Amino acid sequence: MDDQICPRCKTTKYRNPSLKLMVNVCGHALCESCVDLLFLKGAGSCPECNVPLRRSNFRVQLFEDSMVEKEVDIRKRVLRDFNKKEEDFDSLRSYNDYLEEVETIIYNLANNIDVINTNKRIEQYKKDNREQILKNKTKLSKEELELENMLEFEKAQEELRKKELMKLEEEEKKKKLRDKEALIDELMFSTEDANNIVQTFAQQAQATKEEFKLPPPVTRATQFSTGIEFGQQAFLPLPKVDEGEPFVYKAPVVEMDGPVPPSWQQLEDAGYLKHVRGETAQDRAGGYRANISCLRALQEALVGLYHVSERTELFDCAEG
């Protein structure tokens, strides 16, 4: 927040939360008030780099870093002319060289490196590729064409849905009006209980509401059941590889060197779980069970009770 400061009036975002910074082609920011004061006489220049500025070129700063804002603006301007696609090149290598050239131009303009020669380079490219640039501007790519068709389909579906909704609302209004008149007539001339009459008409109104409920909108499929999007090349099946014998699970053999621990059923029947805190709903959701905790404690307590080391055996033999 402290970095957002107007270089002319020194107003910060901290002192003025409603501060709105604006940037121009040079990439330096000014607050909205300073922009208005700068162009009171009809023309102005940047306070930091003295570049001549135009009031129409100022726009609200979207990024905190003005250099990012400047690069985004330059990138949009350059890519309007450098609009070739991969299909315009004979090889992938040529296309990658073209992309590298574009990035070099954008980097030079964003960092004020050899600006004059870079602009001459851009003008020469526009002169040499004028027909190709105009052709690519009018030609939609395959992705843009698919997106446009999807948008047109969704727009048509939305218009149709609006018409159906208006028609259903009109019919529902007429039905409510008829039901209201019928309810009044029933209450005036019927000898039945008024509460029963009102309850019956309320149930009929709920049924009418369900009848005029609009069905969900139709969504157009954009991909196959395998997850591959339309327009993309499907992948070929992978060749099968002989991985040998299938894996067979074998339960591990645990050397207790002590008494055999009780089973799950014996834990409950013998009353072991009476001395263990029972699990709550939150504990069960996390995977905790009281019988698991109890069995683990018994295993740790009994393991190794029958273990006899070699040193102890030798000592007993010597005493004997």
pTM of the model: 0.36
CATH architecture type of domain 1-65 = 2-Layer Sandwich (3.30)
Cα–Cα distance between 315 and 105 in angstroms, integer? 87
Q: Exposed (0-12), middle (13-18) or buried (19+): which is 303, by Cβ within 10 Å? A: middle
Whole-angstrom Cα distance, residue 317 to residue 308? Answer: 13
Q: Which structure tokens are listed for 92?
A: 């992938």
User: Which structure tokens are listed for 287?
Assistant: 């995977």
Cα→Cα distances 92→87, 137, 139, 141, 266, Å: 9, 22, 21, 18, 71
Q: How many residues does the chain have?
A: 320
Cα 155–chain centre separation: 23
Q: What is the DSSP letter of 223?
A: B
d(CA 81, CA 86) in angstroms, rounded, equals 15
Which residue type, as a one-letter code, is found at position 153? Answer: F
Burial of residue 27 (CB within 10 Å: 0-12, 13-18, 19+) is buried
172 HSE (CA, 13 A, CB side): 16
Backbone angles phi, psi at 164, to 5 degrees: -65, -40
Q: How many CB atoms lie within 10 A of CB 86?
A: 13
- One pLDDT digit (tens) per residue for the chain, 320 residues: 445 777 778 888 777 777 777 777 677 777 878 887 777 766 677 777 777 777 766 777 666 666 777 788 788 888 888 888 888 888 888 888 888 988 898 888 888 888 888 888 888 888 888 888 887 777 656 666 777 778 888 888 888 888 888 888 888 888 888 878 887 777 777 777 778 777 887 877 777 666 655 555 555 556 655 555 555 544 556 667 777 788 888 888 878 888 888 888 888 888 888 878 888 888 888 888 888 888 888 888 888 888 776 655 555 555 65
Region for 301 from its dihedrals, namely left if φ exceeds 0, alpha if ψ lies in -120 to 50, beta otherwise: alpha
